[in-house]
Amino acid sequence: MSVQQWVTPLKGLESLRRTEAPMPAPGTGEVLVEIHAVSLNYRDVEVTKGEYKHHKSAEQDATIVPCSDMCGVIIQVGSGVTQWAVGDRVLSTFLPEHQTGQVTEKELAGSVGLPLDGVLATHRVFPAHGLVKAPSYLSDEEACTLPIAAVTAWMSINGMRPMGQSGGKGEYILLQGTGGVAISGLQIGKAAGAKVIITSSSDAKLEQATQLGADYTINYRTTPDWETNVMQYTDNHGADIILETGGAQTLRKSFDCIAFGGLIDCIGYVSGKVDAEDDRLNVNILALRRTVTLKGIINGPKDRFEEMIQFYEAHQIHPVVNQVFSFAESREAFQFVESGSHFGKVVIKVQ
Ligand SMILES: NC(=O)c1ccc[n+]([C@@H]2O[C@H](COP(=O)([O-])OP(=O)(O)OC[C@H]3O[C@@H](n4cnc5c(N)ncnc54)[C@H](OP(=O)(O)O)[C@@H]3O)[C@@H](O)[C@H]2O)c1
C-alpha cells in the first residue's frame, strides 16, 4: 500500500500536484497516522505560492507536502512509544518540538508544512510527542481546525496569563476579518465572557458573526475609519486585546483604538507586510502613548494547546467549518481560501 499525497514546488497553486509515495514505517519514538481530515490556513496558500519567506527556516527551494493541521488515527506505534496506542485519535501540532514556554528558533525550524513535509496525505509518521489527543465530542472535520487557528487565537487572548486562567471576562476583544483565527477568537472570547467587536468586508459575514455572539460588527470596506467606531462602542475605553491579523493597513488603526494598557497581538498581515511609504508608524511613540504591549505571536506550545482543548470541551465549542472539499478537490480548496470567500475554516476530507 502506498501513500497518496499532494505536493507543491512552492511555485503557485496551479503547480500543486497529486503523487504517490511509499508507506513509511514509524521509527523509535514515532507513530504512523492515517489522516482523516486536514484544515487549511492562510499560511498554506502563502507557502504554496512561494511567498512565505519571513522566517529564516522557511527560506528554501523545495518540493514539499503542504499543510499543518490534521486529525487522524494512529495505525502503527514505533518502539519506545508508551503514551499512544493503535486506534487513538490525534491532532497534529504546528511545531512538534515546541512543548512548553517561549518558542525558539530551533523549534521553529521543525514547522510542519514548511520546512518539514506537511499533512496533505493519506498517511504520515509523526514524533509521538508532537501530537495531542483529539477531543471526542468533535468530528474529524471540526477537530482538524484547532492546531493553528484556534491555538493562535488562544495564545493571543490567554498567552500572557497564567496557565488555566481563561481571560477576557468583561474585556473588549477586537477581531479583524472573519477568517480562521478571527472566528476562533470570537468563539473563545465569547465563551470566556468577553465583549467582542469584529470587522469584515462583508455584511453577510458580519451577520454570521452576530449569530455566533459578536457584540459589535463593523464593515471595514464601508467604514474605513473603523477605529472610531471601536472607540464609540467601548465608551472611549478602546479594545483591551486586539488580534492584529490585518498587518500593514490595520496596525495604525489598532493603535488608535487600543485601550490604555491594552495588548496588540501581532499575528498576521492579510492587508500587507510593508507599511505604506507615506505612513511611518513610529511604533515607539504609538506604544508609549497608551502604554500598549505589542506582542508577536507564533502559534503556541503543546501544553497550551492541551489547556485550550480543556476549555473547548468545558464550553462545548464547535469550530466553524465553512466548507469541506474532497481530497481530489484539494487545489480548489486552496483557491477558495485564497479568494477570501470563506467564514471560519476550510477543510479537506482525506478519507
Ligand atoms: N502568527 C501566527 O501564529 C499565525 C497563525 C495563524 C494565522 N496567522 C496569520 O494571520 C492572518 C489570518 O490568518 P487566517 O488563517 O485566519 O486567514 P484566513 O482564514 O485566510 O482569513 C483571512 C481573512 O482576513 C480578512 N481580511 C482580508 N483583508 C483584510 C483587511 N484589510 N482588514 C481586515 N481583515 C482583512 C478577510 O475577512 P473578511 O472576508 O471577513 O473581510 C479574510 O477572509 C494571516 O496573515 C496568517 O498568516 C498567523
Q: Which helix (H) or strand (E) holds 221?
A: none
Each residue's pLDDT tens digit, 199-252: 999 999 999 999 999 999 999 999 999 999 999 999 999 999 999 999 999 999
Whether the CB of 118 sits within 6 Å of ligand 1:
no
Q: What is the pLDDT of residue 58?
A: 56
Residue of 200, 245, 322 to mutate, ligand 1, most atoms within 8 A of C-beta = 245
| CA proximity to 62, closest of 113, 4, 5 | 113
Written as one letter, the residue type at 117 is D
DSSP secondary-structure letter at 262? E
* Ligand 1 centroid distance, CA of 246 (Å): 6
DSSP secondary-structure letter at 348? E
Each residue's pLDDT tens digit, 147-200: 999 999 999 999 887 544 545 568 999 999 999 999 999 999 999 999 999 999
Q: What is the pLDDT of residue 202?
A: 98
Q: What is the pLDDT of residue 280?
A: 83
* Ligand 1 centroid distance, CA of 67 (Å): 16
| CA proximity to 310, closest of 115, 150, 185 | 150
Each residue's pLDDT tens digit, 248-292: 999 999 999 999 999 999 999 999 998 888 888 899 999 999 999
- What's the average model confidence in pLDDT over 121-135? 98
Residue for grid cell 455584511: 203
Take atom 26 of ligand 1 and give the residue whose Cα is closest: 177
Confidence of residue 144 (pLDDT cuts 50, 70, 90): very high
Confidence of residue 48 (pLDDT cuts 50, 70, 90): very high
* Ligand 1 centroid distance, CA of 41 (Å): 9
Whether the CB of 250 sits within 6 Å of ligand 1:
yes
* Ligand 1 centroid distance, CA of 123 (Å): 29
Q: How far apart are CA 244 and CA 258, in angstroms?
A: 11
Each residue's pLDDT tens digit, 96-126: 999 999 999 999 999 999 999 999 999 999 9
Summary mean pLDDT of the chain: 95
Q: What is the pLDDT of residue 60?
A: 63
Q: Are 344 and 209 in contact (CB under 8 A)?
A: no
Q: What is the pLDDT of residue 275?
A: 85
Take atom 32 of ligand 1 and give the residue whose Cα is closest: 246
Whether the CB of 333 sits within 6 Å of ligand 1:
no
Q: How far apart are CA 17 and CA 1, in angstroms?
A: 20
Whether the CB of 199 sits within 6 Å of ligand 1:
yes
Q: What is the pLDDT of residue 333?
A: 98
Rounded to the nearest 5 degrees, what angle is found at the Cα of 267, between the Cα atoms of 200 and 186? 45
Q: What is the pLDDT of residue 179?
A: 98
Given a cut of 70, whether residue 59 has pLDDT beyond it is no
Phi-psi region of 171 (alpha: psi -120 to 50; beta: other; left: phi over 0): beta
Given a cut of 70, whether residue 56 has pLDDT beyond it is no
Q: Which residues contact 255 (CB under 8 A, 6 or more apart)?
A: 264, 281, 286, 287, 289, 290, 292
Q: Which residue has the higher pLDDT, 276 or 68?
A: 68
Q: How far apart are CA 32 and CA 301, in angstroms?
A: 22
* Ligand 1 centroid distance, CA of 184 (Å): 12
Residue for grid cell 506537511: 118
Q: Which residues contact 69 (CB under 8 A, 6 or more apart)?
A: 38, 39, 40, 41, 91, 92, 94, 119, 144, 145, 146, 147, 148, 149
Burial 186-216 (b: 16+ CB within 10 A, else e): bbbbbbbebbbbbbbebeebbebbeebebbb
Q: What is the pLDDT of residue 166?
A: 47
- CATH superfamily ID and name for 151-296: NAD(P)-binding Rossmann-like Domain (3.40.50.720)
The share of the chain scoring above pLDDT 70, in percent, equals 95
Count the Cβ atoms, other than its own, within 10 Å of residue 99: 14
* Ligand 1 centroid distance, CA of 63 (Å): 25
Rounded (to 5) percent helix, strand, coil in the chain: 30, 25, 45
CATH (one of 3.40.50.300, 3.30.460.10, 3.90.180.10, 3.90.1150.10) for 2-145+319-349: 3.90.180.10
Confidence of residue 57 (pLDDT cuts 50, 70, 90): low
Domain layout of the chain by residue ranges: 2-145+319-349, 151-296
